[in-house]
Amino acid sequence: MLNNYLRIGWRNLRRYKMYSSINIGGLAIGLAVGILILVWVQDELSYDKFHEKGDSLYKLSVSFTSGSDVQTWDGMPGPIAVHAVKDIPGVQKAVRTRDNWGDVSKFTYNNNDFFDIKTGFVEPSFFTLFTFPLLKGDAQHPFPDNTSLIVTRSAALKYFGTTDVMGKVIAGDGKNYVVTGLMEDFPEQSSIRYEFMLPFSILQAKFVKSESWPSLDADWGDFYFTTYLQLAPNTSTAKVAAALARLRPDGQQEPGTKYNVQPLFDVHLYNPDLSEGGIKIVRIFLIIAVVILLIACVNYVNLSTARAMQRAAEVGVRKIVGASRRQLFAQFVWESVLVFMLALVLAIAIILILIPFYNNLTDKHLSFGLKNLQMVLAIGLSMLVTLIVAGIYPAIILSSFNPLKTLKGGLSLSGSNVFFRRALVVVQFLIATVLIVSTLVVGQQLRYIKSKALGYDKENVFSFNSDQMYDHLEAAVQELSTAPGVATAAMANHNMTGIDNSTGDTYWDGKEKNETLIAHVFSADKSFMEMMKFGFAEGQNFTNSKADSTHFIINETAAKMMRMKDPIGKKFRLWDIDGTITGVIKDFHYASLHEKIGPLVVYYRPVNYRVYVKTKPGEMDKAVASAERLYKRYNAGFPFRYTFIDDNLNKLYKLDQRTGKLFNYFAGIAIFISCLGLFGLATFATGQRVKEIGVRKVLGASVTNIVALLTSDFLKIVMISIALSVPVAWYIMNRWLEDYAYRVTINWGVFIMAGGLAVAVALLTVSFQAVKAALANPVRSLRTE
């Protein structure tokens, strides 16, 4: 029986080649794209899920509210982990980590120097709380002393040339480290990633108590360390967060401070302050995967039900000779299964072709194969859903025909079925139009990001760390200022696209008792301020005199938050530096446009860690070469690493640009699949009206009249789709734009343009068949009806 169903289905596919191609092609494209998106979504949702104790692990962060400005820091004070375990009910264990901030700048093994090794300082509990298995070594006592080192499998092969590394010695800035453990590589879906791991006790030994500074475990003022807690089952995270704020033994707590206790499973897709982050994009693309599959299903349903009249006689004969409705239903379902299996084979071929491009686009390492469980699950889910959605309804319609009516030729599809088909086309083009609007809005926002004035001169400026030049930096920078290709050189202590150093240790004239100012701070000299061309709203620049050591320059936002109408000459204290405000610069963007400009303070320092170079027009290569020669004079053996501000800005918006590209591709695919279905329906509808067209032409109808007649119904459907898409698209894109503090405004022009594109595409698709039918010989049309 099954063999018979499949043979009949194959015969029908070969008989109606065009409709079969549209059905199989549309489903294949929809399945391929839907599967790829679902695999990406599943990959994003699986981050950190491999940890056996993951459901009890939480990451800490802290949010500071200062007026309308809210800042959230990932770093925690050193003592908070120790006191949380000791003093807060429900906190069982804790682990602290910190990245290598130049503590070890170079590793050397077998006379080979290695730079930029991803190194972290971790506590021993790192290997018992997290599921990072040690292949060799003792997870309970991973670091026998402060010269211990644990490496990952890939790092062992890369730097030692073997995985047999236990006991091997590698030098790090003149100090020898002994490998005491070999760890399996961090999974791709891990939010924590290192190559080398050093004992956290190195930092504890480095930051010991002195007359001017507390020890690491007693320093509540510096937020340097990433901290994770393990909580007992049913422990309230809200109560833990509240208790964290009361831990300081001196009882001091900055006003507006709130600790955040974030589940480890949420770290990848949610912001540290617990608000939605990447999860929004995941949801959007999950919806896109579903709607692309839906569009493909709509095509199949529409064409299958539209062609039902052509199979009415077949159904009537089968029923008269004894076929039951259940048998007919099974036949048509198996025909759908055959179509879907062919579509799946083609979809797999498309996936194999697209995987390298897709990985490059999404910055993933997805692979296709039966061992890839994510891929298998995505294929199975996609096939099951599409088969249920698209295969059942046509089978019900086709198996329900009255045999006597079909043989007498009196059968016609009911008005409800015609309405249903039109409703499906409305849904198709509604989705396509929403995607077009989304693409246009995303494109506008990306162009806005690129074109928005940042408040400083970023053109032809690169920077690099001074490293061992620091002791001779003033002379080196002065020499560099006159080097070939260099327009000017200056110093500052931060990257211009990420000034993330903040402090609440501030005081000013008029400060109220419970008031605080959490300000971004960086140091610079006169030359740097001139190079970046900051606009001064009031006051003046530094003068490079000794008096500047007590002078501060603030931005407009800081002045507003301190309620200073005339800030020049007012007293201001930063940390333990008492001074006065000598200048107010206009607000500039020191971070991405996702973040609102907050208060900022610039303090004077004649020598800074980072050198900035502005090149002469057209002499970029000469300037870089000059900087490299100077750098290597003081840093022999170290690589010269520099970055242009423009490149740093591009990195800030890498995810945004990737999202924009994905929107473009997905919108194009959705429109293409929709047009495939519309083309099939137009072809079928035109074929059903061949005799009518012939009669109209004989009676004098022009080609234009015929084309207008055949396209008007479809254009009405598309216009309804456009009207319904406006509120949907507006809502979705407004939600997406909420992630930007500085954003474009969605105007009517976007909807008009999207509607025009949708109409143009639909008209082009339908008019091809309409013109073909209108140009046909009417006599031949009447004879072949």
Question: What beta strand segments (E) does 34-103 contain?
Answer: 57-66, 69-73, 76-77, 91-99
Q: Give the pLDDT confidence score for residue 410 in this predicted structure.
A: 47
Cβ burial 730-742 (10 Å sphere, 16+ → b, else e): bebbeebbebbee
Residue 718 makes CB contacts below 8 A (sequence gap 6+) with 429, 758, 759, 762
Query: What CA–CA distance (Å, rounded) separates 388 from 150?
Result: 52
* DSSP bridge pairs for 64: 71, 257
Cα separation, 511 vs 639, whole angstroms: 47
- C-alpha distances (whole Å) from 412 to each of 329, 684, 691 are 19, 15, 17
Q: Specify the 3-state DSSP secondary structure of 185.
A: coil
Q: What is the Cα–Cα distance from 338 to 690, expressed in whole angstroms?
A: 31
- pLDDT score of 415: 47
Q: Name the residue among 255, 191, 185 with its Cα closest to residue 226.
A: 191
Asked if 784 contacts 488 with a C-beta cutoff of 8 angstroms, the reply is no
**Residue 560's CB: how many other CB atoms inside 10 A?**
15
The enclosing H or E element of 502 equals strand 502-503
Helix (H, G, I), strand (E, B) or coil at 519: strand
Closest C-alpha to 387, from 432, 350, 326, 334: 334
Non-local (6+) Cβ contacts of 606 within 8 A are: 474, 525, 544
Alpha helices in 46-166 (DSSP H): 79-87, 126-129, 153-155
Q: Hey, where are the domains in the chain?
A: 1-47+283-413, 54-266, 461-652
How much is the pLDDT for 407? Answer: 47
Give dist(CA 63, CA 73) in Å, integer.
6
Residues 300-332, buried b or exposed e (16+ Cβ, 10 A)? bbbbbbbbbeebbeebbebbeeebeeeebbbbb
Cβ-contact 715, 569 below 8 angstroms: no
Q: What is the pLDDT of residue 418?
A: 60
Tell me what pLDDT residue 464 has: 94
Contact of 582 with 537, CB cutoff 8 Å: no
Type of residue numbered 291: V
> CA dihedral defined by 13, 14, 18, 19, rounded to 10 degrees?
-20
pLDDT of residue 220: 87
What does the alpha-carbon distance between residue 403 and residue 770 come to, in Å, rounded to a whole number? Answer: 33
Token digits of residue 641: 């690493």
Angle at alpha carbon of residue 270, lines to 268 and 273, rounded to 5°: 125
Which residues are bridge partners to 491 per DSSP? 611
Question: Over the stretch 5-51, which tens digit does the pLDDT of each residue have?
Answer: 556 656 666 666 776 777 788 888 888 888 888 888 888 999 999 99
C-alpha 470/C-alpha 475 separation (Å) is 10
Q: Tokens 């901030």 map to which residue?
A: 101
DSSP class of 509: T
Contact 760, 711 (CB under 8 A): no
Nearest to 657 by CA among 509, 445, 472, 488: 445
Which regions of the chain are under pLDDT 70? 1-16, 19, 211-212, 250-255, 303-334, 368-376, 378-379, 381-383, 385-421, 680-703, 706-707, 709-710, 768-785
Q: How far is CA 681 from CA 345, 561, 709, in A?
A: 25, 63, 15
Rounded Cα distance between 489 and 67, Å, is 37
Amino acid code (one letter) for 746: I
What the block records as the tokens of 538 is 């009031």
What pLDDT score does 768 carry?
65
Collapse the DSSP code of 600 into the 3-class scheme (helix H, G, I; strand E, B; otherwise coil) and give the result. strand
Joined tokens for residue 689? 């009206």
Alpha-carbon distance of 652 to 103, in angstroms, equals 26
Per-residue pLDDT, 361: 82
Structure tokens at 53: 């104790």
Tokens of 553: 């320059």
Where helices occur in 261-372 by DSSP H, the ranges are 279-306, 312-320, 325-362
Q: Two tokens at 655? A: 């995810």
Q: Using the structure block, give the residue that is written with the tokens 């083309």.
A: 679
